[in-house]
Amino acid sequence: MLRIDLLPPYVHERRARPVFFGFATALVAAVIIAFVAWYISLKGVLSQAQQQLDSANSLQSQYQDYQSKVQQVNSSIADIKSKQDFIASAQKYNDSWWKAYTAVASDTSPTILLHSMEIDPRNHNLVHLTGFCPNEMELARWWIFLRNDTAKFQSVYITLPPHPYPPESANAQNGNQAYGGFGSYGPPKGPYGAGGPMTSSPMSSSPYGMSGPPGMPPGMPYGMPGMPGSPYGGMGGGGNRNNGSATPTEVEGRKGLDFTADLVLQDSLAPPATPPTWPPAGQGGGTGAAGFGGYGMGMPPGMPGFGPGGPMGSQPPSPGGGAGAGGAE
Amino acid sequence: MLSKLNKWHILGIGVGVALVLGIVLFFALINPLRNRINDTNSQIASVEQNGGTQEQVAQAKHLLETTQKQAVQAQESWQINQARYMPSLPFHKNDNSNDLIAIYALRGFDRLPQEWGRWLQHWYDSQMNDGITLLTVFQIPAFPTDPNAISNYSKGITLPEQGKSWTVTVMCKSFQAAMEHLKRINTEMLGHGMPVVDNVSLKGQSPALMLTYSLTLYIIPNSPPPPPDTRLQVTSGGNAGGGMGMPYGMGMSMYSGAAMGGMGGPKAGRPMPAAPSGAGGSSAGAAD
């Protein structure tokens, strides 16, 4: 059976209105509840962040406390530490000298006689040597030995002195004599890359990487310098020794060659660049000029002495006791 | 009025009220809270960057422990090295006296150059058996005659004098002897300041190998000297030149060639320390 609603529509709407009111009210209430819940959750996050901040602040204060203690310790020890650092660096500096010299000396050859050995005062990596060798061959051997010791030396330069042309001794023995220099090991540095000048003759005698072109006609006034670009440098302009006994110098009756050498030490071996010094104390007033020394004539004891004056000798006091600075003992 | 609202009106009003309420609540409650949280988080980050973490605190603690250990080590090392190298200067005596004249003259501060020169000579002479022969005379300029000058030595004393060094030449019987001699400068040149060797060079051959180097002694006082005494007025004027030493004569020692310094004259207008009696001959230079 078909049911027919004969009531007007406003009757139904009136009945449905409370329902829509309820919906609207529920919507507003839901919004309020949601925001309150959000607020509460954010409050929790904030309080957690606050706790974290408090904890971080506490840690930071501990950190700052430790740091200030470190600074206190450092400042309290600064004076002593600077003194101790000076002593340590002075000890190291003093020791570096004999270590460097011993290292260089351990590479000398029994056939090479050294006249002098000096670490350059301005460049502690550079060792200047002068010496004497019986012949060019021994020097070349030593040069190769040195340049192969790359643990000690960055580079090795050996120079033979220039000789007049024609060398008297060579002429006397009917031989041409010429000596150049040994170039560097490694890239050429400074003025040492090239070999020294030579006097004459083709270079053909030395097998050690001579850089001068072979077959130079005899009588050339100057030899070719060592090849500066060669990785091993070169022995600059070694001359042909027609007579091996022709030598410019003698030591204890033995003939040989004088030479100079410059060795560039590895950094680890060289003494530190600057010697340690302790902060100076200001000098008040001038000091007396140097007095002229001389032992006294046995001045009677008890003579009053004035203040200290000039420099003095370091010898023990003479029994006579005369002279000297400042009088009384 | 209400009776005229249909369902769409009611729903629209409800949604509108909810929307407005949501906006109001967001800006009244939520936004300030979020800002506070953001501020707090940025503070946390800032604090954590500046040591507010457990790791950084542990590092700082470790650094403190390391620093304390290093400080102890430095102190111990300095005490050892001070005992090894540094002399006890006359103004260190524990009699609480600040009398500069007493320190200067009676306790022998003015005689330090003399004593140091002798000691160095003996130190080198004692190595004769090790193949070392000294070829140098140690010259030490005298200290200023003004007792107040003692206060200038608070940082240290450099011998032979500030900015200068002795050029020492010794003849060595062998290269080994020369190197041993250089080693001994650190290990056996004790009690007279820290020696510093520089510009070492070798010349010649054994047994007459010449070892040349420069030597400087740095004396670091353990405690500062007393302050200047205002009663000892200093006037202008340089020190007088040293007097002439007596020529060779009676009572010579066996050391030939020794050059004992003559004495400097007093500064004009300057009080002199009490002149002690003793074996010294006088050769006062003229005061300027």
pLDDT at A40: 95
* B92: its two tokens: 């260190």
Taking CA atoms, what residue in A is nearest to B273? A307
pLDDT in tens, B238-262: 443 333 333 333 333 333 333 333 3
Q: Is A41 on the interface with B (CB under 8 A)?
A: no
The least confident of A83-87, A298-302, B95-99 is: A298-302
DSSP string, A208-225: S-B-SPTTPPTT-SS-PP
Q: Angle between the A9-105 and B175-187 helix axes, to the nearest 10 degrees? A: 130
Q: Do A63 and B56 touch (CB under 8 A)?
A: yes
Higher-pLDDT residue of A115 and B236 is: A115
Which residue among B21, B111, B278 places its CB closest to the CB of A28? B21
Write out chain B residues lying below 8 Å of A67, CB-based. 51, 60, 63
pLDDT at A328: 31
Higher-pLDDT residue of A9 and B121 is: B121
pLDDT in tens, A222-252: 333 333 333 333 344 344 333 333 456 766 7
pLDDT band with cut points at 50, 70 and 90 for residue A269 = confident
User: Helical H runs in chain A?
Assistant: 9-105, 136-148, 168-172
Taking CA atoms, what residue in B is nearest to A54? B44
Which residue among A31, A304, A324 places its CB closest to the CB of B261? A324
Write out chain B residues lying below 8 Å of A294, CB-based. 244-248, 259-260
Burial grade of B8 (CB within 10 A; 0-12, 13-18, 19 or more): exposed
Q: Do A285 and B78 touch (CB under 8 A)?
A: no
Rounded to whole angstroms, the maximal C-alpha distance in chain A is: 163
CA distance A181 to A238: 7
The least confident of A182-191, A194-203, B171-180 is: A194-203
Distance from CA of A6 to the nearest CA of B (A): 21
Tell me: cis bond preceding B32? Omega within 30 of 0 counts: no
**Count of alpha carbons within 13 angstroms of residue B60, beta-carbon side:** 21
Would you say residue B39 has pLDDT above 50?
Answer: yes
**Which of B276, B124, B1 shows the shortest CA–CA distance to A307?**
B276
Give CA separation, A195 vs A128, A158, A166, A259, B2, in Å. Answer: 16, 8, 19, 12, 118
Q: Which residues pair with B133 in a beta bridge?
A: B171
Would you say residue A181 has pLDDT above 60?
Answer: no
Higher-pLDDT residue of B254 and A1 is: A1
What are φ and ψ of residue B113, in 5° steps? -55, -40
CA distance A13 to B7: 8
Higher-pLDDT residue of A168 and A189 is: A168
Please count the residue pairs, one from chain A and one from chain B, whose beta carbons lie less than 8 angstroms apart.
Answer: 533
- Percentage of residues of chain A with pLDDT beyond 70: 57
Write out chain B residues lying below 8 Å of A34, CB-based. 22
**Which of A198, A202, A195, A230 shows the shortest CA–CA distance to A217?**
A202
pLDDT at B236: 45
Whether the Cβ atoms of residue A162 and residue A196 lie closer than 8 Å to each other: yes
Over residues A200-219, mean pLDDT: 34
Q: If you search the block for the tokens 């946390």, which residue do you land on?
A: B44
Would you say residue B34 has pLDDT above 90?
Answer: yes
CA distance B256 to A294: 10
pLDDT band with cut points at 50, 70 and 90 for residue B45 = very high
pLDDT band with cut points at 50, 70 and 90 for residue A182 = low
pLDDT band with cut points at 50, 70 and 90 for residue A287 = very low
Q: Is the dihedral of CA B42, B47, B52, B56 positive or negative?
A: positive
Give CA separation, B276 vs B92, B208, B272, in Å. Answer: 21, 44, 11
Q: Do A298 and B114 touch (CB under 8 A)?
A: no
Whether the Cβ atoms of residue A136 and residue A158 lie closer than 8 Å to each other: no
Contacts of B56 (CB under 8 A, 6+ apart): A59, A63
pLDDT band with cut points at 50, 70 and 90 for residue A94 = very high
Question: Please, which residues 112-171 of chain B have a Cβ atom closer than 8 Å to chain A?
Answer: 113-114, 117-118, 120-122, 137-146, 148-149, 151-158, 160-163
CA distance A60 to A68: 12
Contacts of A128 (CB under 8 A, 6+ apart): A116, A117, A118, A119, A120, A260, A261, A262
pLDDT band with cut points at 50, 70 and 90 for residue A218 = very low
Whether the Cβ atoms of residue B193 and residue B85 lie closer than 8 Å to each other: yes
Give CA separation, B196 vs B65, B109, B128, B169, B179, in Å. Answer: 33, 23, 22, 15, 15
pLDDT in tens, B268-279: 333 333 333 333
CA distance B91 to B107: 8
pLDDT in tens, B131-173: 999 998 888 888 877 777 777 787 888 888 888 889 999 999 9
Q: Do A73 and B68 touch (CB under 8 A)?
A: yes
pLDDT at A110: 85
Which residue among A46, A94, A304 places its CB closest to the CB of B33? A46
CA distance B170 to B177: 11
Count CB atoms within 10 A of the CB of residue B154: 14
* B102: its two tokens: 């007493």
Whether the Cβ atoms of residue B105 and residue B273 lie closer than 8 Å to each other: yes
Higher-pLDDT residue of B288 and B177 is: B177
pLDDT band with cut points at 50, 70 and 90 for residue B111 = confident
3-class secondary structure, B64: helix
pLDDT at A116: 92
Q: Do B179 and A98 touch (CB under 8 A)?
A: yes
Whether the Cβ atoms of residue A152 and residue A228 lie closer than 8 Å to each other: no
pLDDT band with cut points at 50, 70 and 90 for residue B32 = very high
Buried b (16+ CB within 10 A) or exposed e, B165-192: bbebebbbeebebbbbbbbebbeebbeb
Taking CA atoms, what residue in A is nearest to B108? A329
Interface test with A, best of B82, B179, B205, B282 (most A CBs within 10 A): B282
pLDDT in tens, B203-225: 988 888 999 999 999 998 877 77
Whether the Cβ atoms of residue B14 and residue A25 lie closer than 8 Å to each other: yes
Q: Is B15 on the interface with A (CB under 8 A)?
A: yes
Over residues A260-287, mean pLDDT: 70
Distance from CA of B128 to the nearest CA of A (A): 15
Amino acid at B240: A
Q: Do B137 and A313 touch (CB under 8 A)?
A: yes
* B44: its two tokens: 């946390």
Q: Do A49 and B85 touch (CB under 8 A)?
A: no
Over residues A102-121, mean pLDDT: 88
pLDDT in tens, A42-76: 999 999 999 999 999 999 999 999 999 999 999 99
pLDDT at A113: 87
User: Which one of A199-213, A256-270, A310-324, B39-53 scores highest in mean pLDDT?
Assistant: B39-53
Which residue among B144, B183, B264 places its CB closest to the CB of A284? B144
CA distance B202 to A142: 20
Would you say residue A96 has pLDDT above 80?
Answer: yes
* Average pLDDT score over chain B: 77
Would you say residue B283 has pLDDT above 90?
Answer: no
Would you say residue B114 has pLDDT above 60?
Answer: yes
Higher-pLDDT residue of A161 and A56 is: A56
Whether the Cβ atoms of residue B25 and residue A32 lie closer than 8 Å to each other: yes
**Which of B14, B15, B2 shows the shortest CA–CA distance to A14?**
B2
pLDDT band with cut points at 50, 70 and 90 for residue A274 = confident
Whether the Cβ atoms of residue A211 and residue A224 lie closer than 8 Å to each other: yes
Would you say residue B282 has pLDDT above 70?
Answer: no
Write out chain A residues lying below 8 Å of B144, CB-based. 283-287
pLDDT at B264: 37
CA distance A93 to A100: 11
Would you say residue A211 has pLDDT above 50?
Answer: no
